[in-house]
């Protein structure tokens, strides 16, 4: 019996060690990106397309004040409440971060201290971003006002407060491959890059499974945010608006039936309003190409 128990204990230790190895934060090489020169002017376009201010500006701010990325907005989920951190160029924010630190946080979901970030930060989507765009984004954020407001701690209970376990979540759901595949026109490819990588539309508009992973088989088929707010199906199975109607909605918030957007989507409209018309049309073309979800 003693030998049996020792064997079980040994297997448990080996299993725990293997699990610890598998859940270790994985970092991409930043050698190429660190040779790039950041273009802050182009970085502003990436900033709006990526929705940085929508999450990281202080609650209730509007206009130019949204460029002060002091954080504080809260996001309620089934796993706890998450607070957007300060990412302004101050010592409290990301002012001391290197280019590598920024890339690893944005695209790998790994903080400078080596721990996993929670996927409330859409790093699985951002993992598809081009290195130049990530470097340009950092260059632009570095020009924005600094804030010394401390980031709020997340309200996450056991076992979700064990960050190391997020390595397992990434193994299951961290595949950054594009959902819409196949031979695409250049316009649809551009729309896919904006919608799937930068604007991370799927984070809200796609249903999730019990572990919080996106159900990519029902891509853009509708989801839930803040625990209760329903987000609509925006595939061509439900979104029967014309190209012009969708473009107008994305940039003005006006619907074909004379209503106006509200809630979190209002931020998306503000962001899209900063993009060139060609990018908005590309997003429309992408939405028309996504398979219908009924």
pLDDT tens readout for residues 70-97 = 999 999 888 899 999 999 999 999 999 9
Q: How does residue 21 score in pLDDT terms, banded at 50, 70 and 90?
A: low
Q: Report how far Cα 249 is from the mean position of its chain's Cα atoms.
A: 22
In contact, 157 and 79? CB cutoff 8 Å: no
Which two tokens mark 254?
């006006």
Mean pLDDT of the chain: 89
The residue-averaged pLDDT of 236-240 equals 85
In contact, 212 and 77? CB cutoff 8 Å: yes
Q: How does residue 1 score in pLDDT terms, banded at 50, 70 and 90?
A: low
pTM here? 0.90
Q: Rounded to whole angstroms, what are the CA distances from 101 to 46, 166, 257?
A: 18, 19, 46
Q: How far apart are CA 272 and CA 275, in angstroms?
A: 5
In contact, 86 and 69? CB cutoff 8 Å: yes
Beta-bridge mates of residue 81? 76, 155
196-235 burial, b if ≥16 CB within 10 A, otherwise e? bbbbbbbbbbbbbeeebbbeeebbbbbbebeeeeebebbb
Q: How far apart are CA 7 and CA 162, in angstroms?
A: 27
Which two tokens mark 201?
């539309």
The beta-strand segments (E) located in 131-228 are 223-225
pLDDT at 265: 84
The mean-pLDDT minimum among 20-24, 172-176, 197-201 falls in: 20-24
pLDDT tens readout for residues 136-189 = 999 999 999 999 999 999 999 998 889 999 999 999 999 999 999 999 999 999
Q: Rounded to whole angstroms, what are the CA distances from 220 to 47, 53, 215?
A: 23, 23, 9
Residue 285 has pLDDT above 60, yes or no: yes
Which two tokens mark 126?
């951002």
């Amino acid at each position: 019996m003693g030998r049996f128990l020792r064997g079980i204990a040994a297997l448990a230790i080996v299993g725990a060690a293997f699990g610890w190895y598998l859940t270790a934060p994985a970092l991409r090489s930043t050698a190429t990106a660190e040779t790039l020169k950041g273009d802050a002017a182009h970085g502003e376009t990436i900033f709006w397309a990526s929705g940085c201010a929508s999450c990281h500006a202080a609650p209730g701010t509007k206009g130019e004040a949204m460029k002060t990325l002091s954080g504080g907005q809260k996001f309620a989920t089934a796993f706890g409440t998450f607070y957007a951190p300060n990412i302004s160029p101050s010592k409290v924010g990301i002012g001391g971060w290197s280019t590598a630190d920024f890339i690893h946080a944005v695209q790998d979901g790994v903080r400078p201290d080596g721990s996993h970030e929670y996927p409330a930060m859409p790093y699985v989507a951002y993992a598809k971003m081009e290195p130049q765009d990530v470097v340009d984004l950092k260059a632009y954020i570095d020009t924005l006002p600094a804030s010394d407001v401390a980031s709020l701690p997340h309200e996450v209970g056991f076992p979700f407060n064990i960050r190391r376990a997020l390595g397992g979540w990434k193994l299951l759901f961290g595949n950054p491959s594009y959902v819409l595949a196949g031979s695409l026109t250049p316009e649809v490819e551009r729309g896919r890059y904006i919608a799937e990588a930068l604007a991370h539309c799927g984070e809200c508009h796609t249903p999730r499974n019990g572990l919080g992973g996106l159900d990519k088989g029902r891509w853009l088929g509708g989801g839930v945010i803040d625990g209760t707010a329903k987000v609509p199906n925006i595939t061509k199975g439900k979104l029967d608006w014309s190209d012009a109607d969708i473009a107008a909605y994305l940039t003005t918030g006006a619907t074909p039936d004379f209503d106006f957007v509200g809630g979190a989507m209002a931020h998306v409209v503000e962001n899209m309003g900063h993009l060139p018309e060609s990018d908005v049309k590309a997003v429309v073309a992408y939405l028309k190409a996504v398979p219908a979800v009924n």
